[in-house]
């Protein structure tokens, strides 16, 4: 728990803000994207909590984390569903981000959710 409420769009690592009414998305980072997490160890889960606003999309979350679009692969999962960057995020969502150098085998079998 933080000492006070965070600024809009701020990021906290390995723990939710705990403030009532705060909209938080849990982001799991993989591969070289782990650099955006406090614990970058390959044996850790590299989870980051990101505050989001109404109407924010996956692309907005990626931007808040400071990840360049070129580094992000096509394998983006929101709540276990392969998703487009334009998909909106909501409180409590779980987002998995994979870098461009980690590809998903059999990607064609997963429908992309917009």
Residue 90 has pLDDT above 90, yes or no: yes
pLDDT digit string, tens, across residues 33-77:
988 887 666 667 789 999 999 999 999 999 999 999 999 988 899
Which has the closest alpha carbon to 34: 13, 59, 60, 50? 13
Q: What is the pLDDT of residue 16?
A: 45
Residues in the chain: 114
Tokens of 36: 């955006």
Tokens of 16: 């939710």
Instruction: Report the alpha-carbon distance of residue 45 to residue 33 in Å, rounded.
Output: 12
- Its pTM surpasses 0.85: no
pLDDT digit string, tens, across residues 16-35:
444 555 689 999 999 899 88
Burial class (CB in 10 A: 0-12, 13-18, 19+), 46: buried
Domains recognised in the chain with CATH numbers = 24-46+55-109 (3.10.20.30)
């Amino acid at each position: 728990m933080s000492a006070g409420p965070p600024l809009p769009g701020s990021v906290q690592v390995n723990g939710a803000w705990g403030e009532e009414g705060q909209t938080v998305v849990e982001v799991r980072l993989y591969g070289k994207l782990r650099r955006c997490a406090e614990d970058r160890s390959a044996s850790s889960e590299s989870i980051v909590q990101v505050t989001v606003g109404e109407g924010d999309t996956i692309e907005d979350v990626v931007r808040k984390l400071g990840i360049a679009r070129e580094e992000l692969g096509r394998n983006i999962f929101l709540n276990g569903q392969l998703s487009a960057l334009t998909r909106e995020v909501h409180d409590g969502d779980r987002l998995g981000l994979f870098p461009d150098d980690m590809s998903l085998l059999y990607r064609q079998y997963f429908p992309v959710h917009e």
